[in-house]
């Protein structure tokens, strides 16, 4: 009883100082009070509550995926009222559905009125994958990507990353379904926001939250070598690594992905070799098929050499180009078939990603937060 009485004071003290900072940074007219800012400080906010109450709060947020404290009838009314005030569960968002309803895009407004997009991809085998954003905008300037067009604003906090997954946990709950996989392949370069991305993985791996094994997370990078090296040394975190390669000839990759000028292919293959030596985990090589650019016979041969240099277990993921209004064209089905044949002749193992969400601008390279709520 003593702790329960003490708790509201500490919650409200912390909350008030937080809110003042938020209101200050938002200026007048700010209206968001969402869960995002509170997720980063959840433990300290509820530190004075008894353990069983903390467990109930964690269960309500993560396992039961409630969107309002009013639904949490296991908690006393008074505490629910306090929690509504101190840890609001709201996420300011709008959902957009693809024609086949297998893809859902969420447009999310952050507490500083910036926007991000997150995508749910539902497969027939009950796999529900969330494609998560890690930054507002992206500094990497990949030529084929709509996210690069708006420039870079800031990194997302851990709470803003986790809130994207909570939003779809709540949505899937109505179908009695769960989030099964998380891919950091939305807007932003995840390895430039290393701490918050890894913090989100570690939080969602906890038994008290979604209890998702690290193997269910994939981090896709444009090739930030210091981040790859750091990930290789991350203790007890067996996440999957994907490299957005898209060309294995330096000149071509320079023009598609400016990061290649900083970290060219030779250095990238060396870093991947080291990563594989220390983790023994298969690396996914993502390859966007761009017409008249990276799908000639020489590209397949160069890819074979790149793979040989890495000496790693790998799988190549072919991604048909989506309409991102970037001046590049997609390959026809016949042209894709020809490139696949080049790969087969080079004895390269690959699979081709099934298309999803192109009609709602939710496919690879299309996320651009053009709409507002």
Tell me which residues touch ligand SF4 (CB under 6 A): 138, 140, 142, 145, 147-148, 187-189, 222, 244
Specify the residue, 37 or 132, whose C-beta has the smaller distance to ligand SF4: 132
Specify the residue, 146 or 343, whose C-beta has the smaller distance to ligand SF4: 146
> In terms of DSSP H, where are the helices of 75-181?
77-86, 158-173
Out of 101, 117, 286, 311, the active site residue is 117
Specify the residue, 142 or 210, whose C-beta has the smaller distance to ligand SF4: 142
Smallest gap, in angstroms, from Cβ of residue 219 to ligand SF4?
A: 12
Smallest gap, in angstroms, from Cβ of residue 366 to ligand SF4?
A: 10
Specify the residue, 116 or 158, whose C-beta has the smaller distance to ligand SF4: 116
The answer to whether the Cα torsion of 246, 252, 258, 262 is positive or negative is positive
Q: Decide if 364 is catalytic.
A: yes
Query: Does residue 219 contact residue 184 with C-beta atoms inside 8 Å?
Result: yes
Smallest gap, in angstroms, from Cβ of residue 27 to ligand SF4?
A: 29
Specify the residue, 88 or 137, whose C-beta has the smaller distance to ligand SF4: 137
Residue 181: CB atoms within 10 Å: 17
Query: Does residue 147 contact residue 367 with C-beta atoms inside 8 Å?
Result: yes
> In terms of DSSP H, where are the helices of the chain?
2-26, 36-39, 42-45, 51-58, 77-86, 158-173, 194-205, 225-232, 250-256, 259-262, 265-279, 297-310, 333-345
Smallest gap, in angstroms, from Cβ of residue 340 to ligand SF4?
A: 23
Query: What is the rounded end-to-end Cα distance, in angstroms, of the chain?
Result: 43
Out of 131, 145, 326, 364, the active site residue is 364
Query: Does residue 107 contact residue 361 with C-beta atoms inside 8 Å?
Result: no
- Positions annotated as catalytic residues are 117, 364
């Amino acid at each position: 009883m003593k702790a329960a009485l003490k708790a509201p004071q500490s919650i409200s003290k912390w909350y008030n100082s937080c809110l003042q900072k938020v209101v200050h940074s938002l200026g007048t007219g700010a209206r968001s009070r969402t869960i995002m800012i509170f997720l980063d400080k959840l433990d300290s906010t509820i530190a004075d509550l008894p353990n069983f109450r903390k467990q109930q709060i964690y269960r309500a947020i993560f396992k039961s995926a409630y969107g309002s404290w009013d639904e949490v009838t296991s908690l006393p009314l008074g505490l629910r009222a306090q929690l509504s005030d101190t840890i609001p569960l709201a996420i300011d968002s709008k959902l957009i559905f693809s024609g086949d309803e297998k893809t859902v895009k969420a447009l999310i407004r952050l507490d500083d009125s910036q926007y991000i997009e997150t995508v749910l991809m539902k497969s027939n085998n009950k796999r529900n994958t969330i494609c998560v954003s890690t930054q507002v905008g992206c500094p990497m300037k990949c030529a084929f990507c709509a996210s690069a067009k708006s420039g870079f604003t800031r990194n997302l906090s851990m709470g803003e990353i986790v809130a994207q997954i909570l939003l779809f946990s709540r949505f899937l709950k109505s179908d009695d379904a769960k989030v099964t996989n998380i891919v950091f392949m939305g807007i932003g370069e995840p390895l430039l926001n290393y701490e918050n991305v890894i913090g989100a993985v570690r939080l969602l791996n906890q038994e008290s939250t979604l209890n998702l094994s690290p193997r269910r997370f994939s981090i896709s990078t444009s090739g930030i070598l210091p981040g790859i090296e750091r990930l290789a040394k991350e203790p007890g975190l067996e996440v999957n690594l994907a490299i957005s390669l898209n060309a294995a000839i330096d000149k071509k990759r320079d023009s598609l992905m400016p990061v290649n000028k900083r970290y060219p292919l030779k250095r990238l293959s060396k870093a991947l070799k080291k990563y594989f030596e220390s983790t023994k985990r298969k690396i996914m090589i993502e390859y966007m098929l761009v017409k008249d650019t990276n799908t000639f016979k020489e590209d397949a041969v160069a890819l074979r050499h790149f793979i040989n240099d890495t000496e790693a277990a790998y799988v190549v993921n072919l991604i048909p180009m989506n309409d991102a209004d970037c001046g590049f064209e997609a390959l026809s089905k016949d042209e894709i078939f020809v490139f696949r044949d080049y790969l087969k002749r080079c004895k390269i193992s690959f699979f081709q990603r099934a298309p999803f969400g192109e009609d709602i601008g939710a496919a690879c390279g299309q996320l651009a937060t053009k709409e507002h709520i």
